[in-house]
Amino acid sequence: MENDVNPEEIKKVSHPKKPKEGFFYNVFHNGPFLLFALPGAIWMIFFFYIPVFANVVAFKEFHFSPDGFLASLMQSKWVGFENFKFLFTSDAAWLITKNTLLYNLGFISLNLIISVFFAIIMSELRHKRLVKVYQTSMLLPYFLSWVIIGYFVMAFLNPDKGLLNMMLHTDINWYAEPKYWPFILLFIGTWKGIGYNSILYFATVMGIDPTYYEAATVDGANKWQQIKNITIPQLVPLMTLMSILAVGNIFRADFGLFYQVPQNSGALYNVTSVLDTYIFNGLTSTGDIGMSSAASLYQSVVGCVLLVSTNALVRKLDGESALF
């Protein structure tokens, strides 16, 4: 006699009910990880998200009040886009925009090419201790303050006792000669950031499946052909991602590089003045918080638009390489 099998029982066995997963379920099961992320989240909220509301200062003729910041914000006169008008009609508007864009384009290009170059070279080294020494040496400048680097540069470029003048047997006043500084700033900016970027690319290279190289070797490919046809294509997604993020910051210059390294020399203003130094100098010299806020907001909005636009273009060309 055959046993009667209930179809509903079979369905329950083959398709068991999944436990309900909601917000509190996820919080409970991922509690330790969320706890680790909590300090960073609090920092982001207080120093990135809450200050966003203060962007309204860019549209006001801001004056401090003894009653505090919020009272100052409420009592300050609304001027609309007058602060932006002052920024764009000033003589320095074109200069600071041009300098910021050209320097950042130079940094993006140099960092990309040189970082990939060094990452590939380090991946070809077989002495592990030597690789660690190179990585540490290249990464060290990344953690140095711009104030310290500024004094290092001064040791080389000091007009009286600088090492460069002593080696070249010249008496060039480097801090009064603008023609040299675009190259000096590009070199120092690239030197400081190249270690961090090269390690990112090096980690990606080391994660490439070695069977690709073994198959290429069997097929008779030399080292250059392996790099061109295996390593670089595997690096393209990361190169694209890093370039998108860099384009998003193309209107942000490294304040320390352009202020501390040239020692804020007035003679170098035409080649060292960028948006960040312009905002700082405007705030310290005139005390006009509204105008400085307008310049900073303009910087952020343009950067956001460029980031979204670049990402949209990359998503059309190669969806897997897009940031979002």
What are the mean pLDDT values of the chain's consecutive 10-residue runs (324 residues total)?
Answer: 53 54 76 87 88 84 78 82 79 85 92 92 82 85 91 90 87 90 93 89 89 89 89 90 86 88 88 87 79 83 86 81 74
- Do 298 and 87 touch, CB atoms closer than 8 A? yes
Structure token digits, residue 221: 């490919």
Task: Quote the CA–CA distance of 195 and 149 in Å, as a whole number.
Answer: 15
State the number of CA atoms in the 13 A half-sphere of 271 facing the CB: 19
Closest CA to 107 of 12, 201, 186: 186
Can you give the pLDDT at residue 246? 87
Q: Which amino acid is at 179?
A: K
Task: Quote the CA–CA distance of 172 and 181 in Å, as a whole number.
Answer: 13
3-class state of residue 300 by DSSP? helix
Can you give the pLDDT at residue 316? 83
Q: Which amino acid is at 86?
A: F
Is the backbone of residue 150 left (phi > 0), alpha (psi -120 to 50) or beta?
alpha
Which domains does the chain carry?
2-80 (no CATH), 86-321 (1.10.3720.10)
Per DSSP bridges, beta strands 60-61 and 77-78 are antiparallel
Alpha-carbon separation of residue 77 from 34, 60, 82, 145, 265 (angstroms): 43, 6, 11, 39, 35
Can you give the pLDDT at residue 52? 83
Please state the φ and ψ torsions of residue 262, each to the nearest 5 degrees: -80, 5
